[in-house]
């Protein structure tokens, strides 16, 4: 009888599925999420050199690369203006032609006899006007050569000249000439109003024609100064602000026509970040979530700054790009060159739920998740304790690498998390014995 009992117990032991038992727990689901991030500049400015629409330039040498930090005034690239000499010669020829016409007018007028006080004062005005035009011309050309824009408000010229002595001297000469002209003109008008004599009609015609020529000369001088300013601006292109170079849209040998952006800089007051697409992740990653970035000599730690939708409709997590991370990855230029930066986000759920090992979760299809819960009784073989399993549906809230969050309260429940053969609802099982 003893042998029969032993044999029967052996058969039960052999045929009964053996399972590994775990228990549900309460807590916040945690998992490591590996993401491919990229360097992202939150605020950038595209710079288009519209002056090149009037005079195209050919790019010579590029001095910076994307990701490089630059200071205002730093050279980005140099170029040549192939049509500068031709354009300047054309303007100079027109100027010389008008100047010759003005001289002819002056000579013709001087041949006319003049004896009145008005005429003497008028000649003084003409001389002062000519001297003023020459002084302003010299100041504007020098300013253009030095890369300084004086503008049309002559009262601001001294301020805009800064501390450049040669330009300050030229600007002062123009100011002195302007004062002399104002005095000569005031004396002429005062005497003209006092006197009863009249200039002849031919004199007024001369004045009108001369003023017209002077206007044309000034316009041509404006064009020459503007051309020189365009050459200075376009042949050595500098950074208009501090920031990172986001893109250089031209390359050596390109002809640039000013119709598209030549370069893009990040705003100095908005540091770059790392950005990773989490659209398919489907979970909310909170601010200050810990992030790890593997470097050449170890792992650097940083954190999530925020999550938001991008302009492309995708959901992104934005990560602080610290100096340590930049150094560990060999600089921003290296990160942009590589394209992707691997990061590990330590995700943690906002709320505590029931957590079970991922191995305990089973599925009969989409939305049909369940677990096997252990039920114990004492109606086993010869009154011994026995265990059977009960299929219990669960609602999965989140899935992690090793743990799963479910809505149901399964605290302290014994759950099957592994077996040596197929299981079925209500079948008897045995626990693995080490």
DSSP string over 63-131: ---TT-EE-TT-EEEEEE-TTHHHHHHHHHHHHHHHHHHHHHHHHHHHTS---SHHHHHHHHHHHHHHH
Plot region of 267 (φ>0 → left; ψ -120 to 50 → alpha; else → beta)? beta
Q: Mean of the pLDDT values across residues 93-112?
A: 74
SS3 308: strand
Does the pLDDT at position 193 exceed 70? no
Q: What are phi and psi of 376, to 5 degrees?
A: -105, 145
* pLDDT of the residue at 241: 95
* pLDDT of the residue at 185: 81
How much of the chain, in percent, has pLDDT values that exceed 90?
A: 45
Count of CA atoms in the C-beta half-sphere (13 A) of 27: 14
Q: Mean of the pLDDT values across residues 69-96?
A: 92
Burial class (CB in 10 A: 0-12, 13-18, 19+), 371: buried
* pLDDT of the residue at 116: 62
Does the pLDDT at position 77 exceed 80? yes
Q: What are phi and psi of 400, to 5 degrees?
A: -110, -175
Q: Mean of the pLDDT values across residues 123-151?
A: 82
Q: Which two tokens stand for residue 23?
A: 């228990």
Does the pLDDT at position 2 exceed 50? no
Q: Residues 309-343: pLDDT tens digits?
A: 998 999 999 999 999 999 999 999 999 998 899 99
Task: Please give the model's pTM, rounded to 2 decimal places.
Answer: 0.67
Output 109 or 71, whichever has higher pLDDT: 71
């Amino acid at each position: 009888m003893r042998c029969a009992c032993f044999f029967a117990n052996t058969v039960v032991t052999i045929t009964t599925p053996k399972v590994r038992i775990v228990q549900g727990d309460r807590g916040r689901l945690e998992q490591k999420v590996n993401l491919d991030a990229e360097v992202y500049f939150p605020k950038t400015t595209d710079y288009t050199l519209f002056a090149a629409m009037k005079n195209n330039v050919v790019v010579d040498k590029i001095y910076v690369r994307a990701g490089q930090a630059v200071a205002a005034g730093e050279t980005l690239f140099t170029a040549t203006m192939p049509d500068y000499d031709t354009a300047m010669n054309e303007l100079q020829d027109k100027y010389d032609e008008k100047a010759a016409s003005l001289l002819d007018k002056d000579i013709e007028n001087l041949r006319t006899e003049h004896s009145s006080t008005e005429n003497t004062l008028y000649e003084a005005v003409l001389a002062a006007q000519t001297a003023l035009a020459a002084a302003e011309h010299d100041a504007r050309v020098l300013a253009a050569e030095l890369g300084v824009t004086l503008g049309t408000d002559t009262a601001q010229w001294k301020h805009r000249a800064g501390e450049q002595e040669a330009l300050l001297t030229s600007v002062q000469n123009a100011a002195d000439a302007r004062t002399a002209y104002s005095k000569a003109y005031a004396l002429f008008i005062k005497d003209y109003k006092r006197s009863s004599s009249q200039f002849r009609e031919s004199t007024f015609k001369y004045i009108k024609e001369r003023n017209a020529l002077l206007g044309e000369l000034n316009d041509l001088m404006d064009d020459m100064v503007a051309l020189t300013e365009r050459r200075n601006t376009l042949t050595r292109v500098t950074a208009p602000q501090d920031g990172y170079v986001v893109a250089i849209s031209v390359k050596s040998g390109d002809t640039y026509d000013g119709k598209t952006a030549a370069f893009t800089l990040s705003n100095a007051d908005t540091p770059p970040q790392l950005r990773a697409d989490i659209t398919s992740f489907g979970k909310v990653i909170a601010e200050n979530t810990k992030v790890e970035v593997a470097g050449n000599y170890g792992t650097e730690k940083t954190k999530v700054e925020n999550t938001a939708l991008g302009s492309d409709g995708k959901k992104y997590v934005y990560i602080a790009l610290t100096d340590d991370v930049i150094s560990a990855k060999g600089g921003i230029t290296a990160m942009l060159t590589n394209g992707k930066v691997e990061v590990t986000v330590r995700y943690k759920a906002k709320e505590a739920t029931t957590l079970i090992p991922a191995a305990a979760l089973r599925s009969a299809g989409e939305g049909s998740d369940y677990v096997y819960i252990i039920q114990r009784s004492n109606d086993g073989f010869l009154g011994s304790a026995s265990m059977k399993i009960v299929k219990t549906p669960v609602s999965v809230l989140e899935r992690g690498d090793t743990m799963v969050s479910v809505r149901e309260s399964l605290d302290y429940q014994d759950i099957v998390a592994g077996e040596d053969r197929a299981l079925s609802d209500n079948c008897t099982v045995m626990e693995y014995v080490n």
